[in-house]
Structures are given as C-alpha cells and as structure tokens.
Amino acid sequence: MPDYGQIAIGGGTLSSSWFLGLAAILFTLGAIGVLIRRNPLVILVCIELMLNAANLTLITFSRQLQDLDGQLFALMAMTVAAAEAVVGLAILVDISRVRELEDVDELDELKG
C-alpha cells in the first residue's frame, strides 16, 4: 500500500491510505448505484453516499495536513447535500402525486 502520509488517531497513527481507500470504495458504490438502480429513492441515497465519500476525503486530508479548511468545507458540503436532498425529494413527491413512479427511465420528457 503506498504511503501518502500518516494521521494521528487514538494514541497512534494510521496511514491515510486506509481512509482514502474507504472513500474510493464508497464513491464507487455510490456511482454504480446511481448508474444501475432505477428506483429514485435509492438513487438519491447513492448520491448521498458519493457526497459522503467526498467528505471523508476532505476530512482525511484536513487531518493529515493539520488544516481546518477541509473540515469546514465538509460541513458546507453536508449543508448543500441536505438542501439538495430536500429539493430532490420534493420533486419526487410532486411527481408521485401525478403518477406512480418506480423507474427513473420513465422520466424522459426532456428528450431532445
């Protein structure tokens, strides 16, 4: 495992590669979920997963570099994610009032 630096945690240190690797796995899972799942709720969840993977990366580097900017940015990303979830869910609720929605592929009205 390549060593990109150490992070102090607990009483010892841990290579930041572990955290970054976890973030990459989470991001990939989220991306795959967005691409292959059709249920809109699951897709929203997967998007959250990708955002959190990004947050984890930010915090990892923040700790490694002893710079709080990354953690502040993660907080900001969470706020944006919350707002985005609100908008996304509201749209879904609105659509489901008009019709039954199980598959996002049915939503192709914007076809050019």
Partner 1 sequence: MTLQALTLAILVLPAAGSVGLGLGALRVPRRLVQVVGPGTVWVAFLCSLVLFVDQLTNGGRSHDFTYWTWLSSGDLQVPVDLFVDRLSVFMCLIVTGVGGLIVTYSNGYMEHETDGSYARFFCYMDLFITSMLLLVLAGNLVLLIVGWAGVGLSSYLLIGFFYWRWSAVVAARKAFVMNVIGDVGMILGTFVLFAAYHSVTYAGIFAALPKTDSPLLELAAFLLLVGAVAKSAQLPLHTWLPDAMEGPTPVSALIHAATMVTAGVYLVGRLHPLYDLAWIAHGAVALIGTMTALFAASIAIVQTDIKRVLAYSTMSQIGYMFLAVGVGAYAAGFFHLMAHAFFKALLFLGAGNVIHSMNDEQDMRRYGGLWGQMRGTSICFLIGSLSLAGIIPFVGFWSKEVVLGDVFSKPDAGGFPQAMWAIGFATAILTGFYTGRMWWMAFSGGPSPERPVARPHEAQAVMMVPVVVLAVLSTVGGFVQINAGFHPGWKLIEDWLAPTFGPLPWQARDLEYIPTAATLLLAGLAFWPLADAFYRRRIWSVWSERLPFLQRLLERKYYADELYDRLFVRPMDAAAEAGDQLLEAPVIDAAPAGVGATARGGAGILSLAENGLFRTYALVMLAAALVGLVIVFAVRG
Residues near partner 1 (CB under 8 A) are: 31, 34-35, 38, 43, 104-105, 107-112
Backbone angles phi, psi at 86, to 5 degrees: -60, -50
> Minimal distance in Å, beta carbon 13 to partner 1?
28
For partner 1, the closer of residues 50 and 74 by Cβ is 50
Cα 33-22-9 angle, rounded to 5 deg: 150
Cα 42-55-11 angle, rounded to 5 deg: 125
For partner 1, the closer of residues 87 and 110 by Cβ is 110
Beta-carbon neighbour count of residue 103 at 10 Å? 11
> Minimal distance in Å, beta carbon 14 to partner 1?
26
For partner 1, the closer of residues 43 and 59 by Cβ is 43
> Minimal distance in Å, beta carbon 106 to partner 1?
10
At 74, list the tokens. Answer: 């993660």
For partner 1, the closer of residues 28 and 79 by Cβ is 28
Q: State how far the Cα of 26 lies from the Cα of 29, in Å rounded to an integer.
A: 5
> Minimal distance in Å, beta carbon 34 to partner 1?
5
